[in-house]
Amino acid sequence: MKLNEGFVIIDFGSQFTQLICRRLRELGYFAEVLPYTVTLEKIKKHQPKGIILSGGPYSVFESDAPQFDILELEKQAPLLGICYGMQLIAHKKGGVVEKSLVKEYGHTTISWSSETQIFKGLPLNQEVWMSHGDIVKSVPSGFKITAVTHNQLPAAMESDRIWATQFHPEVSHTQNGDHIFKRFAELCQAKPNWSANTVGEGLIQDIKDLVKQGDVLCALSGGVDSSVTAMLLTRALGAERVHCVFVNNGLLRKNEYENVLKMYHEIGLHVIGVDATSLFLEQLKSVVDPEQKRKIIGRLFIEVFEDQLTHLPQVTWLAQGTLYPDVVESVKPFGGPTQTIKSHHNVGGLPQNMKLKIIEPLRWLFKDEVRRLGLYLGLPKPMIERHPFPGPGLAIRIIGEVSAESLEIVQKADQIFIDMLKEHDLYHKIWQAFCVLLPVQTVGVQGDGRTYEQVLALRAVTSRDGMTADWYDFEPAFLKKLSNQITNQVSGINRVVYDITSKPPGTIEWE
Protein backbone atom coordinates (compact mmCIF):
# COMPACT_ATOMS: atom_id res chain seq x y z
CA MET A 1 0.00 0.00 0.00
CA LYS A 2 1.30 3.43 -0.80
CA LEU A 3 1.60 4.86 2.67
CA ASN A 4 3.55 8.02 1.93
CA GLU A 5 2.22 11.53 1.26
CA GLY A 6 0.38 11.52 4.55
CA PHE A 7 1.49 12.91 7.88
CA VAL A 8 4.41 11.96 10.07
CA ILE A 9 3.94 12.44 13.80
CA ILE A 10 7.18 12.67 15.76
CA ASP A 11 6.59 11.23 19.22
CA PHE A 12 8.28 12.99 22.15
CA GLY A 13 6.64 10.72 24.72
CA SER A 14 3.18 12.20 25.19
CA GLN A 15 0.48 9.84 26.36
CA PHE A 16 -1.73 11.38 23.64
CA THR A 17 0.50 10.80 20.60
CA GLN A 18 -1.63 7.97 19.23
CA LEU A 19 -4.68 10.21 19.53
CA ILE A 20 -3.09 12.66 17.07
CA CYS A 21 -2.75 9.80 14.63
CA ARG A 22 -6.35 8.73 15.14
CA ARG A 23 -7.70 12.25 14.68
CA LEU A 24 -5.94 12.63 11.32
CA ARG A 25 -7.06 9.20 10.15
CA GLU A 26 -10.65 9.91 11.23
CA LEU A 27 -10.45 12.98 8.99
CA GLY A 28 -9.36 10.72 6.12
CA TYR A 29 -5.60 11.40 6.10
CA PHE A 30 -2.93 8.75 6.46
CA ALA A 31 -0.74 9.40 9.51
CA GLU A 32 2.05 7.47 11.10
CA VAL A 33 3.85 7.78 14.46
CA LEU A 34 7.65 7.70 14.52
CA PRO A 35 9.85 8.04 17.63
CA TYR A 36 11.89 11.25 18.03
CA THR A 37 15.03 9.15 17.48
CA VAL A 38 14.01 8.62 13.83
CA THR A 39 16.49 9.91 11.23
CA LEU A 40 15.74 12.72 8.83
CA GLU A 41 16.47 10.30 5.98
CA LYS A 42 13.68 8.01 7.12
CA ILE A 43 11.24 10.91 7.37
CA LYS A 44 12.18 12.03 3.84
CA LYS A 45 11.35 8.57 2.52
CA HIS A 46 7.77 8.98 3.74
CA GLN A 47 7.40 12.16 1.64
CA PRO A 48 5.17 13.69 4.30
CA LYS A 49 2.75 16.44 3.39
CA GLY A 50 3.03 17.71 6.95
CA ILE A 51 4.92 16.86 10.15
CA ILE A 52 3.49 17.04 13.65
CA LEU A 53 5.62 17.28 16.78
CA SER A 54 3.84 15.73 19.75
CA GLY A 55 3.81 16.82 23.37
CA GLY A 56 5.97 15.14 25.95
CA PRO A 57 6.71 15.07 29.67
CA TYR A 58 10.03 16.95 29.39
CA SER A 59 11.21 20.51 29.63
CA VAL A 60 13.43 21.72 26.77
CA PHE A 61 16.03 22.72 29.40
CA GLU A 62 16.55 19.22 30.79
CA SER A 63 19.87 17.68 29.76
CA ASP A 64 18.16 14.49 28.57
CA ALA A 65 15.24 16.28 26.87
CA PRO A 66 14.47 14.79 23.45
CA GLN A 67 15.85 16.91 20.63
CA PHE A 68 15.25 17.29 16.92
CA ASP A 69 16.91 19.42 14.26
CA ILE A 70 13.96 21.72 13.62
CA LEU A 71 15.84 23.81 11.04
CA GLU A 72 16.35 20.74 8.85
CA LEU A 73 12.89 19.36 9.62
CA GLU A 74 11.06 22.49 8.48
CA LYS A 75 12.66 22.12 5.04
CA GLN A 76 10.81 18.81 4.57
CA ALA A 77 7.20 19.92 5.11
CA PRO A 78 5.02 22.35 7.06
CA LEU A 79 5.10 21.72 10.83
CA LEU A 80 2.51 21.63 13.59
CA GLY A 81 3.95 21.66 17.11
CA ILE A 82 1.83 20.60 20.07
CA CYS A 83 2.78 21.52 23.66
CA TYR A 84 6.41 20.26 23.98
CA GLY A 85 6.49 20.40 20.17
CA MET A 86 5.69 24.14 20.29
CA GLN A 87 8.31 24.76 22.95
CA LEU A 88 10.96 22.83 21.04
CA ILE A 89 10.25 24.81 17.86
CA ALA A 90 10.45 28.11 19.77
CA HIS A 91 13.64 27.06 21.60
CA LYS A 92 15.44 25.84 18.45
CA LYS A 93 14.46 28.85 16.35
CA GLY A 94 15.69 31.49 18.77
CA GLY A 95 12.60 32.18 20.88
CA VAL A 96 12.54 32.12 24.68
CA VAL A 97 10.96 29.29 26.68
CA GLU A 98 10.71 29.50 30.45
CA LYS A 99 9.02 27.92 33.45
CA SER A 100 5.51 29.21 33.81
CA LEU A 101 4.70 30.83 37.15
CA VAL A 102 0.99 30.25 36.52
CA LYS A 103 0.11 26.58 36.22
CA GLU A 104 -2.43 25.81 33.51
CA TYR A 105 -3.71 22.28 33.68
CA GLY A 106 -6.98 20.90 32.33
CA HIS A 107 -9.75 23.09 30.92
CA THR A 108 -8.61 26.58 29.91
CA THR A 109 -10.25 29.32 27.86
CA ILE A 110 -8.29 30.88 25.02
CA SER A 111 -8.91 33.76 22.61
CA TRP A 112 -7.64 33.69 19.05
CA SER A 113 -6.48 36.68 17.10
CA SER A 114 -8.67 37.14 14.06
CA GLU A 115 -5.97 36.90 11.38
CA THR A 116 -4.71 33.39 12.24
CA GLN A 117 -4.79 30.90 9.36
CA ILE A 118 -5.26 27.73 11.36
CA PHE A 119 -8.31 28.84 13.30
CA LYS A 120 -10.16 30.48 10.38
CA GLY A 121 -13.92 30.09 10.57
CA LEU A 122 -14.32 29.35 14.29
CA PRO A 123 -15.45 31.45 17.26
CA LEU A 124 -12.76 33.66 18.74
CA ASN A 125 -13.06 32.23 22.28
CA GLN A 126 -13.06 28.55 23.12
CA GLU A 127 -12.24 25.90 25.70
CA VAL A 128 -9.05 23.89 25.29
CA TRP A 129 -7.20 21.27 27.32
CA MET A 130 -3.76 22.19 28.69
CA SER A 131 -1.04 20.21 30.44
CA HIS A 132 2.29 22.01 30.65
CA GLY A 133 4.88 23.48 33.00
CA ASP A 134 6.81 25.72 30.56
CA ILE A 135 5.63 28.50 28.26
CA VAL A 136 6.95 30.30 25.20
CA LYS A 137 7.86 33.67 26.70
CA SER A 138 8.84 35.26 23.39
CA VAL A 139 8.35 33.84 19.92
CA PRO A 140 11.18 33.44 17.37
CA SER A 141 11.55 36.05 14.65
CA GLY A 142 9.07 35.57 11.82
CA PHE A 143 6.42 34.22 14.25
CA LYS A 144 3.42 35.89 15.84
CA ILE A 145 1.32 34.87 18.83
CA THR A 146 -2.12 33.87 17.56
CA ALA A 147 -3.91 32.93 20.79
CA VAL A 148 -3.63 33.74 24.49
CA THR A 149 -5.18 32.12 27.54
CA HIS A 150 -7.43 33.95 30.00
CA ASN A 151 -4.19 34.50 32.01
CA GLN A 152 -2.75 36.27 28.94
CA LEU A 153 -0.19 33.49 28.43
CA PRO A 154 0.68 32.46 24.86
CA ALA A 155 -1.50 29.55 23.66
CA ALA A 156 -0.56 29.40 19.96
CA MET A 157 1.94 30.84 17.49
CA GLU A 158 2.52 30.67 13.76
CA SER A 159 4.79 31.65 10.90
CA ASP A 160 4.38 30.99 7.18
CA ARG A 161 4.87 27.22 7.31
CA ILE A 162 4.85 26.45 11.03
CA TRP A 163 1.87 26.38 13.39
CA ALA A 164 1.99 25.51 17.06
CA THR A 165 -0.39 25.19 20.00
CA GLN A 166 0.43 25.08 23.68
CA PHE A 167 -2.79 23.11 24.26
CA HIS A 168 -3.69 19.62 23.00
CA PRO A 169 -6.09 19.71 20.01
CA GLU A 170 -6.06 15.88 19.87
CA VAL A 171 -7.78 15.54 23.26
CA SER A 172 -11.59 15.41 23.13
CA HIS A 173 -11.88 18.10 25.86
CA THR A 174 -10.50 20.67 23.39
CA GLN A 175 -13.37 22.23 21.45
CA ASN A 176 -12.90 22.18 17.68
CA GLY A 177 -9.65 20.22 17.94
CA ASP A 178 -10.51 18.38 14.73
CA HIS A 179 -10.89 21.68 12.94
CA ILE A 180 -7.27 22.55 13.76
CA PHE A 181 -6.03 19.27 12.24
CA LYS A 182 -8.28 19.74 9.23
CA ARG A 183 -7.03 23.29 8.65
CA PHE A 184 -3.43 22.12 9.06
CA ALA A 185 -4.04 19.37 6.49
CA GLU A 186 -5.56 21.89 4.09
CA LEU A 187 -2.66 24.28 4.59
CA CYS A 188 -0.35 21.34 3.77
CA GLN A 189 -2.43 20.63 0.63
CA ALA A 190 -2.86 17.00 1.70
CA LYS A 191 -5.58 14.89 0.09
CA PRO A 192 -7.98 12.89 2.27
CA ASN A 193 -7.65 9.46 0.69
CA TRP A 194 -7.62 7.21 3.76
CA SER A 195 -10.92 5.31 3.69
CA ALA A 196 -12.08 1.72 4.23
CA ASN A 197 -12.31 1.33 0.47
CA THR A 198 -8.76 2.50 -0.39
CA VAL A 199 -7.26 0.80 2.67
CA GLY A 200 -9.06 -2.49 1.95
CA GLU A 201 -8.09 -2.59 -1.71
CA GLY A 202 -4.53 -1.49 -0.87
CA LEU A 203 -4.13 -4.25 1.73
CA ILE A 204 -5.55 -6.88 -0.63
CA GLN A 205 -3.02 -5.85 -3.28
CA ASP A 206 -0.20 -5.97 -0.65
CA ILE A 207 -1.16 -9.54 0.30
CA LYS A 208 -1.18 -10.58 -3.37
CA ASP A 209 2.28 -9.05 -3.83
CA LEU A 210 3.70 -10.64 -0.68
CA VAL A 211 2.23 -14.14 -0.67
CA LYS A 212 3.28 -15.28 -4.11
CA GLN A 213 3.71 -18.90 -3.07
CA GLY A 214 2.52 -21.14 -0.29
CA ASP A 215 -0.77 -21.23 1.64
CA VAL A 216 -1.70 -19.34 4.79
CA LEU A 217 -2.85 -20.61 8.19
CA CYS A 218 -5.18 -18.22 9.96
CA ALA A 219 -6.33 -18.78 13.53
CA LEU A 220 -9.87 -17.53 14.12
CA SER A 221 -11.18 -16.51 17.53
CA GLY A 222 -14.68 -15.39 16.58
CA GLY A 223 -13.60 -11.79 17.24
CA VAL A 224 -13.38 -8.94 14.79
CA ASP A 225 -9.59 -8.80 14.28
CA SER A 226 -9.07 -12.40 13.26
CA SER A 227 -12.27 -12.40 11.17
CA VAL A 228 -11.21 -9.31 9.19
CA THR A 229 -7.71 -10.77 8.74
CA ALA A 230 -9.19 -13.99 7.34
CA MET A 231 -11.55 -12.10 5.08
CA LEU A 232 -8.78 -9.90 3.63
CA LEU A 233 -6.58 -12.94 2.98
CA THR A 234 -9.44 -14.84 1.38
CA ARG A 235 -10.28 -11.90 -0.90
CA ALA A 236 -6.65 -11.66 -1.93
CA LEU A 237 -5.69 -15.32 -2.35
CA GLY A 238 -8.94 -17.25 -2.66
CA ALA A 239 -10.48 -19.53 -0.02
CA GLU A 240 -8.52 -22.61 -1.11
CA ARG A 241 -5.19 -21.00 -0.13
CA VAL A 242 -6.35 -19.67 3.25
CA HIS A 243 -6.85 -22.36 5.90
CA CYS A 244 -8.73 -20.89 8.83
CA VAL A 245 -8.78 -22.85 12.08
CA PHE A 246 -11.45 -22.22 14.70
CA VAL A 247 -10.94 -24.13 17.92
CA ASN A 248 -13.67 -24.96 20.39
CA ASN A 249 -11.80 -24.90 23.69
CA GLY A 250 -15.04 -25.50 25.58
CA LEU A 251 -14.63 -22.06 27.15
CA LEU A 252 -16.80 -20.17 24.67
CA ARG A 253 -20.24 -18.72 25.34
CA LYS A 254 -23.41 -20.76 24.92
CA ASN A 255 -23.79 -22.12 21.35
CA GLU A 256 -20.98 -19.81 20.21
CA TYR A 257 -18.90 -22.48 18.49
CA GLU A 258 -21.77 -23.66 16.31
CA ASN A 259 -23.10 -20.16 15.55
CA VAL A 260 -19.74 -18.64 14.67
CA LEU A 261 -18.68 -21.62 12.58
CA LYS A 262 -21.92 -21.38 10.61
CA MET A 263 -21.41 -17.70 10.02
CA TYR A 264 -17.81 -18.20 8.85
CA HIS A 265 -19.06 -20.73 6.30
CA GLU A 266 -21.79 -18.36 5.15
CA ILE A 267 -19.32 -15.56 4.39
CA GLY A 268 -17.18 -17.89 2.32
CA LEU A 269 -14.20 -18.64 4.54
CA HIS A 270 -12.56 -22.03 4.35
CA VAL A 271 -12.78 -22.97 8.04
CA ILE A 272 -11.60 -26.07 9.80
CA GLY A 273 -13.50 -26.43 13.08
CA VAL A 274 -11.65 -28.36 15.79
CA ASP A 275 -13.58 -29.41 18.88
CA ALA A 276 -10.92 -29.73 21.58
CA THR A 277 -13.23 -29.22 24.56
CA SER A 278 -12.24 -32.36 26.42
CA LEU A 279 -8.51 -31.69 25.97
CA PHE A 280 -8.80 -28.18 27.46
CA LEU A 281 -11.11 -29.15 30.34
CA GLU A 282 -8.95 -32.14 31.22
CA GLN A 283 -5.80 -30.00 31.46
CA LEU A 284 -7.54 -27.25 33.43
CA LYS A 285 -8.64 -29.67 36.16
CA SER A 286 -7.67 -28.43 39.66
CA VAL A 287 -5.99 -25.32 38.26
CA VAL A 288 -7.02 -22.16 40.14
CA ASP A 289 -4.26 -19.64 39.42
CA PRO A 290 -5.31 -17.26 36.57
CA GLU A 291 -1.84 -17.00 35.02
CA GLN A 292 -1.54 -20.77 35.11
CA LYS A 293 -4.89 -21.04 33.32
CA ARG A 294 -3.71 -18.61 30.63
CA LYS A 295 -0.45 -20.52 30.15
CA ILE A 296 -2.18 -23.88 29.81
CA ILE A 297 -4.77 -22.50 27.38
CA GLY A 298 -2.07 -20.74 25.32
CA ARG A 299 0.02 -23.92 25.13
CA LEU A 300 -2.95 -26.09 24.14
CA PHE A 301 -3.96 -23.67 21.37
CA ILE A 302 -0.47 -24.00 19.93
CA GLU A 303 -0.58 -27.79 20.17
CA VAL A 304 -3.90 -27.85 18.31
CA PHE A 305 -2.56 -25.60 15.55
CA GLU A 306 0.63 -27.61 15.26
CA ASP A 307 -1.45 -30.72 14.88
CA GLN A 308 -3.49 -29.09 12.10
CA LEU A 309 -0.29 -28.04 10.35
CA THR A 310 0.85 -31.63 10.01
CA HIS A 311 -2.13 -32.13 7.66
CA LEU A 312 -1.33 -28.98 5.68
CA PRO A 313 2.20 -29.25 4.25
CA GLN A 314 1.46 -26.54 1.68
CA VAL A 315 1.15 -23.90 4.46
CA THR A 316 4.20 -21.63 4.74
CA TRP A 317 2.56 -18.50 6.18
CA LEU A 318 0.93 -17.73 9.50
CA ALA A 319 -1.53 -14.81 9.64
CA GLN A 320 -1.85 -12.73 12.80
CA GLY A 321 -4.38 -10.03 13.65
CA THR A 322 -1.84 -7.63 15.20
CA LEU A 323 -3.07 -4.01 15.31
CA TYR A 324 -1.23 -0.68 15.04
CA PRO A 325 -1.20 0.17 18.78
CA ASP A 326 0.79 -3.05 19.34
CA VAL A 327 3.46 -2.26 16.76
CA VAL A 328 3.79 1.51 16.90
CA GLU A 329 7.25 2.32 18.10
CA SER A 330 6.16 4.96 20.58
CA VAL A 331 8.27 6.49 23.31
CA LYS A 332 7.42 5.43 26.85
CA PRO A 333 6.73 8.67 28.75
CA PHE A 334 8.83 7.78 31.76
CA GLY A 335 11.08 5.07 30.34
CA GLY A 336 11.54 1.66 31.90
CA PRO A 337 9.68 -1.54 31.24
CA THR A 338 5.97 -1.61 31.92
CA GLN A 339 4.80 -4.26 34.37
CA THR A 340 2.90 -7.26 33.04
CA ILE A 341 -0.51 -7.17 34.68
CA LYS A 342 -1.89 -10.14 32.74
CA SER A 343 -0.18 -12.24 30.09
CA HIS A 344 -2.59 -12.16 27.18
CA HIS A 345 -2.30 -15.52 25.53
CA ASN A 346 -4.70 -15.72 22.68
CA VAL A 347 -4.93 -16.95 19.13
CA GLY A 348 -3.42 -13.67 17.90
CA GLY A 349 -0.17 -14.49 19.64
CA LEU A 350 1.11 -17.76 18.29
CA PRO A 351 4.87 -18.14 18.73
CA GLN A 352 7.21 -17.67 15.80
CA ASN A 353 9.01 -21.00 16.28
CA MET A 354 6.33 -22.60 14.10
CA LYS A 355 8.81 -21.89 11.26
CA LEU A 356 6.19 -20.06 9.26
CA LYS A 357 6.53 -16.61 7.73
CA ILE A 358 4.32 -14.11 9.54
CA ILE A 359 1.80 -11.92 7.76
CA GLU A 360 0.02 -9.18 9.71
CA PRO A 361 -2.36 -7.36 7.33
CA LEU A 362 -3.91 -5.18 10.08
CA ARG A 363 -0.66 -3.84 11.51
CA TRP A 364 -1.39 -0.33 10.18
CA LEU A 365 -4.88 -0.09 11.63
CA PHE A 366 -6.61 1.02 14.81
CA LYS A 367 -9.53 -1.03 16.13
CA ASP A 368 -12.21 1.33 14.79
CA GLU A 369 -10.56 1.21 11.36
CA VAL A 370 -10.63 -2.60 11.49
CA ARG A 371 -14.37 -2.44 12.21
CA ARG A 372 -15.01 -0.12 9.24
CA LEU A 373 -12.87 -2.35 7.03
CA GLY A 374 -14.85 -5.39 8.19
CA LEU A 375 -18.09 -3.73 7.14
CA TYR A 376 -16.57 -2.80 3.78
CA LEU A 377 -15.53 -6.44 3.28
CA GLY A 378 -19.08 -7.56 3.98
CA LEU A 379 -18.73 -9.10 7.44
CA PRO A 380 -22.09 -9.20 9.24
CA LYS A 381 -22.73 -6.26 11.57
CA PRO A 382 -23.31 -8.36 14.72
CA MET A 383 -19.83 -9.84 14.29
CA ILE A 384 -18.23 -6.42 13.85
CA GLU A 385 -20.01 -4.97 16.85
CA ARG A 386 -19.51 -7.85 19.29
CA HIS A 387 -18.08 -7.08 22.69
CA PRO A 388 -14.42 -8.13 23.01
CA PHE A 389 -13.99 -11.64 24.38
CA PRO A 390 -10.71 -12.81 25.95
CA GLY A 391 -8.70 -15.68 24.43
CA PRO A 392 -8.91 -17.78 27.64
CA GLY A 393 -12.69 -17.28 27.48
CA LEU A 394 -14.88 -18.26 30.39
CA ALA A 395 -11.94 -19.90 32.20
CA ILE A 396 -10.99 -16.47 33.57
CA ARG A 397 -14.62 -15.72 34.44
CA ILE A 398 -14.89 -18.72 36.72
CA ILE A 399 -12.87 -17.84 39.78
CA GLY A 400 -11.15 -20.99 40.97
CA GLU A 401 -11.40 -24.34 39.28
CA VAL A 402 -13.13 -24.68 35.89
CA SER A 403 -15.54 -27.58 35.50
CA ALA A 404 -18.26 -28.58 33.05
CA GLU A 405 -20.88 -27.67 35.70
CA SER A 406 -19.44 -24.22 36.43
CA LEU A 407 -19.17 -23.55 32.68
CA GLU A 408 -22.83 -24.37 32.22
CA ILE A 409 -23.81 -21.96 34.99
CA VAL A 410 -21.80 -19.08 33.52
CA GLN A 411 -23.00 -19.80 29.99
CA LYS A 412 -26.65 -19.73 31.03
CA ALA A 413 -26.30 -16.55 33.10
CA ASP A 414 -24.23 -14.85 30.37
CA GLN A 415 -26.91 -15.54 27.80
CA ILE A 416 -29.62 -14.03 29.99
CA PHE A 417 -27.46 -10.93 30.63
CA ILE A 418 -26.52 -10.35 26.97
CA ASP A 419 -30.06 -11.01 25.68
CA MET A 420 -31.48 -8.56 28.16
CA LEU A 421 -28.92 -5.88 27.17
CA LYS A 422 -29.97 -6.29 23.55
CA GLU A 423 -33.67 -6.21 24.45
CA HIS A 424 -33.17 -2.93 26.31
CA ASP A 425 -31.02 -1.46 23.54
CA LEU A 426 -28.02 -1.26 25.87
CA TYR A 427 -25.60 -3.70 24.20
CA HIS A 428 -23.96 -1.05 22.00
CA LYS A 429 -23.66 1.48 24.80
CA ILE A 430 -21.41 -0.90 26.70
CA TRP A 431 -17.83 -1.90 25.84
CA GLN A 432 -18.01 -5.28 27.55
CA ALA A 433 -20.55 -7.07 29.73
CA PHE A 434 -20.24 -10.50 31.32
CA CYS A 435 -20.82 -12.68 34.36
CA VAL A 436 -18.23 -13.93 36.83
CA LEU A 437 -18.88 -17.04 38.91
CA LEU A 438 -17.45 -16.72 42.40
CA PRO A 439 -16.22 -19.64 44.52
CA VAL A 440 -18.37 -18.39 47.37
CA GLN A 441 -21.57 -19.97 48.65
CA THR A 442 -24.17 -18.00 50.53
CA VAL A 443 -27.40 -18.87 52.25
CA GLY A 444 -30.65 -18.08 50.50
CA VAL A 445 -34.29 -18.95 50.58
CA GLN A 446 -36.22 -20.12 47.55
CA GLY A 447 -39.77 -21.44 47.73
CA ASP A 448 -40.05 -22.77 51.24
CA GLY A 449 -36.53 -24.06 51.44
CA ARG A 450 -33.10 -22.90 52.52
CA THR A 451 -30.47 -22.85 49.75
CA TYR A 452 -26.70 -22.73 49.96
CA GLU A 453 -25.47 -21.81 46.51
CA GLN A 454 -22.95 -19.72 44.57
CA VAL A 455 -22.71 -15.96 44.01
CA LEU A 456 -22.66 -14.53 40.49
CA ALA A 457 -21.09 -11.12 39.82
CA LEU A 458 -22.23 -8.99 36.89
CA ARG A 459 -19.71 -6.71 35.17
CA ALA A 460 -20.54 -4.06 32.54
CA VAL A 461 -18.10 -1.33 31.58
CA THR A 462 -17.78 1.54 29.15
CA SER A 463 -14.36 2.14 27.65
CA ARG A 464 -12.67 3.62 24.58
CA ASP A 465 -9.89 1.11 24.19
CA GLY A 466 -9.93 -1.26 27.17
CA MET A 467 -7.02 0.59 28.81
CA THR A 468 -9.27 2.40 31.26
CA ALA A 469 -12.92 1.70 31.99
CA ASP A 470 -15.92 2.88 33.99
CA TRP A 471 -18.71 0.69 35.33
CA TYR A 472 -22.04 1.21 33.59
CA ASP A 473 -24.74 2.94 35.59
CA PHE A 474 -27.82 0.75 34.97
CA GLU A 475 -31.31 1.77 35.98
CA PRO A 476 -32.23 -0.07 39.24
CA ALA A 477 -35.27 -1.58 37.49
CA PHE A 478 -32.99 -3.22 34.90
CA LEU A 479 -30.76 -4.75 37.58
CA LYS A 480 -33.79 -5.94 39.51
CA LYS A 481 -35.27 -7.72 36.49
CA LEU A 482 -31.91 -9.23 35.57
CA SER A 483 -31.17 -10.51 39.06
CA ASN A 484 -34.64 -12.03 39.22
CA GLN A 485 -34.28 -13.86 35.92
CA ILE A 486 -30.84 -15.22 36.80
CA THR A 487 -31.78 -16.54 40.24
CA ASN A 488 -34.99 -18.03 38.82
CA GLN A 489 -33.51 -19.64 35.73
CA VAL A 490 -29.95 -20.62 36.60
CA SER A 491 -29.76 -23.39 39.13
CA GLY A 492 -26.71 -23.14 41.36
CA ILE A 493 -27.01 -19.33 41.81
CA ASN A 494 -28.94 -17.80 44.70
CA ARG A 495 -27.29 -14.36 44.84
CA VAL A 496 -26.33 -11.76 42.21
CA VAL A 497 -24.04 -8.76 42.81
CA TYR A 498 -23.02 -5.88 40.52
CA ASP A 499 -19.37 -4.82 40.26
CA ILE A 500 -18.95 -1.04 40.71
CA THR A 501 -15.18 -0.85 40.24
CA SER A 502 -13.55 1.26 37.53
CA LYS A 503 -10.25 0.44 35.82
CA PRO A 504 -7.99 1.46 37.46
CA PRO A 505 -7.96 0.34 40.25
CA GLY A 506 -9.69 -2.85 39.04
CA THR A 507 -9.10 -4.54 35.70
CA ILE A 508 -12.01 -5.35 33.38
CA GLU A 509 -11.80 -9.12 33.87
CA TRP A 510 -11.67 -10.46 37.43
CA GLU A 511 -8.71 -12.75 36.72
DSSP 8-state code for residue 160: S
Residues 428-457 within binding reach of ligand XMP (CB under 6 A): 432
Cα-Cα end-to-end distance for the chain: 40
Instruction: Specify whether the CB–CB gap between 393 and 436 falls below 8 A.
Output: no
Q: Smaller CB distance to ligand XMP: residue 48 or 222?
A: 222
Nearest distance, CB of residue 243 and ligand XMP, angstroms = 22
Task: Give the separation between CA 367 and CA 371, rounded to whole angstroms.
Answer: 6
Residue (29 or 434) nearer to ligand XMP, CB: 434
| 162 touches 81 (CB < 8 A) | yes
Give the number of other CB atoms < 10 A from CB of residue 120.
Answer: 13
Distances in whole angstroms, Cα of residue 429 to Cα of each of 245, 372, 408, 500, 508: 31, 18, 27, 17, 16
Cβ of residue 374: shortest distance to ligand XMP, in angstroms? 18
Q: Which stretch binds ligand XMP (CB under 6 A): 23-31, 79-87, 338-346, 404-412?
A: 338-346
Q: Which of 74, 104, 170, 369 is catalytic?
A: 170
Complete edge-to-edge strand list for the sheet that includes strand 315-319: 271-275, 242-248, 215-220, 315-319, 357-359
294 in contact with ligand XMP (CB under 6 A): yes
Please report how close the Cβ of residue 137 comes to ligand XMP at its closest, in angstroms. 43
> Catalytic annotation on 170?
yes
Identified binder of ligand XMP from the candidate list 123, 380, 388, 504, rule CB under 6 A? 388
Interaction of residue 161 with ligand XMP, rule CB under 6 A: no
- 435: annotated active-site residue: no
Q: Which of 346, 406, 411, 494 binds ligand XMP (CB under 6 A)?
A: 346
| Beta partners for residue 318, in sequence order | 217, 358
Q: Does 191 bind ligand XMP (CB under 6 A)?
A: no
Among 466, 485, 492, 498, binds ligand XMP (CB under 6 A): 466
User: Is 293 near ligand XMP (CB under 6 A)?
Assistant: no
In this complex, which beta carbon is closest to ligand XMP, that of residue 142 or of residue 388? 388
> Which of residues 83, 242, 399, 508 is near ligand XMP by CB under 6 A?
508
Q: Does 367 bind ligand XMP (CB under 6 A)?
A: no
Q: Decide: is 81 part of the binding site for ligand XMP (CB under 6 A).
A: no
Should residue 397 be labelled a site residue for ligand XMP when binding is judged by CB under 6 A?
Answer: no
CA separation (Å) from 188 to 6, 77, 163, 197, 479? 10, 8, 11, 24, 52
What's the closest the beta carbon of residue 438 comes to ligand XMP, in angstroms?
16
342 contacts ligand XMP (rule: CB under 6 A): yes
Q: For residues 508 and 504, give the distance between their C-alpha atoms in angstroms, rounded to a whole number.
A: 9
Q: Does 150 bind ligand XMP (CB under 6 A)?
A: no
Are 375 and 385 spatial neighbours (Cβ–Cβ below 8 Å)? no
Number of residues that bind ligand XMP (CB under 6 A): 16
Residue 361: closest CA among 313, 303, 455, 369: 369
d(CA 104, CA 119): 21
Binding piece for ligand XMP, criterion CB under 6 A, among 64-72, 247-255, 315-323, 343-351: 343-351
A 10 A CB-CB count for 221 gives: 21
Q: What is the CA radius of gyration of the chain?
A: 26
Interaction between residue 507 and ligand XMP (CB under 6 A): yes
CB of 501 to ligand XMP, least distance (A): 11
- Return the SS3 of 8: strand
Q: Angle 196-210/367-376 helices, nearest 10 degrees?
A: 90
Q: Is 509 in the site for ligand XMP (CB under 6 A)?
A: yes
Q: Which position among 21, 83, 218, 435 bears the catalytic label?
A: 83
Backbone angles phi, psi at 246, to 5 degrees: -120, 115
Nearer of residues 161 and 342 to ligand XMP, judged by Cβ:
342
Among 391, 453, 474, 490, binds ligand XMP (CB under 6 A): 391
Q: Is 21 tagged catalytic?
A: no
Candidates 139, 390, 397, 471: give the one binding ligand XMP (CB under 6 A). Answer: 390
DSSP string, 61-127: TSTT-----HHHHHHHS-EEEETHHHHHHHHHTT-EEEEEEEEEEEEEEEEE-TT-STTTTS-SEEE
Q: Could you list the active site residues?
A: 83, 168, 170
Q: Which residues bind ligand XMP (CB under 6 A)?
A: 294, 341-342, 344-346, 388, 390-392, 432, 466, 503, 507-509
